[in-house]
Chain A
Amino acid sequence: GNSVTQMEGPVTLSEEAFLTINCTYTATGYPSLFWYVQYPGEGLQLLLKATKADDKGSNKGFEATYRKETTSFHLEKGSVQVSDSAVYFCALYIQGAQKLVFGQGTRLTINP
């Protein structure tokens, strides 16, 4: 089946630290991969995406590279800010299935 496994949280870092949130997936087809972010009290927002192997998605200083050989899509940011505190969800989408499959989410807290 199709599934997504994320690094367990919560993750707490100091401002300007380097961030990695691991995400691996299992899929029966050729998925597109996404990172969504959920700020406190808000809905899910698309952070970045990659639609094929070796694609790199990037937005707001965050990056993730679609690695087919390791079935991974790890989220990275070089220098985090307090405003990055949120819950991050890795997700895959397989066109035939017409739905997103989410990981369990990773709560990130950045301390000043």
Chain B
Amino acid sequence: GAGVSQSPRYKVAKRGQDVALRCDPISGHVSLFWYQQALGQGPEFLTYFQNEAQLDKSGLPSDRFFAERPEGSVSTLKIQRTQQEDSAVYLCASSLGQEKRQPQHFGDGTRLSIL
């Protein structure tokens, strides 16, 4: 497709379950980012990939959060043993490269609700 695609669009899980969120970046985009957006707040950085290499995971809130991009294209954000505080919109973004002039293009996000 033309834009960043995320799935599922909505996810409801019970506390303690594991979830996996998928991101398909724009074709050819080298850089991929995950952000977490709590209700009424701005997005906050979670992690960054350049191709398949995860270069920064400083924003991941705990070791329950894990992200991968094994072939340098599709990425998956996994949350293990979900907690209620994990409820948020998870945004994926991609860009052509590292240059600051290259804007990040965002998907529509996955809204995660933990019951």
Contacts and interface: CB of A to CB of B under 8 A. Distances in A.
23 contacts: A34-B103, A43-B91, A44-B91, A44-B93, A45-B106, A46-B103, A49-B103, A51-B101, A89-B42, A93-B104, A95-B99, A97-B56, A98-B31, A98-B48, A98-B55, A98-B56, A98-B98, A99-B59, A100-B33, A100-B35, A100-B43, A102-B42, A105-B41
Interface of A: 4, 31-32, 34, 36, 42-46, 49, 51, 89, 91, 93-95, 97-105
A8 to B, nearest CB: 11
Of B4, B44, B93, B103, chain A has the most CB atoms within 10 Å of the CB of B103
Interface of B: 4, 31, 33, 35, 40-45, 48, 55-56, 59, 91, 93, 98-101, 103-109
A42 B106 CA distance: 10
Nearest to A51: B101
Contacts of B109: 43
A89 B104 CA distance: 14
Nearest to A104: B42
Contact of A32 (B91, B100, B105): B100
Nearest to B33: A99
Which 6 residue pairs of A and B lie closest in terms of their CB atoms, listed nearest first? A102-B42, A43-B108, A44-B106, A99-B45, A32-B100, A95-B100
Nearest to A49: B103
A97 B47 CA distance: 11
B45 A101 contact: yes
Q: What's the dominant secondary structure at chain B's contact region? A: loop
Contacts of B35: 100
A46 to B, nearest CB: 5
Given A43-B107, A44-B106, A46-B105, A95 B42 contact: no
Contacts of B42: 4, 89, 91, 102-105
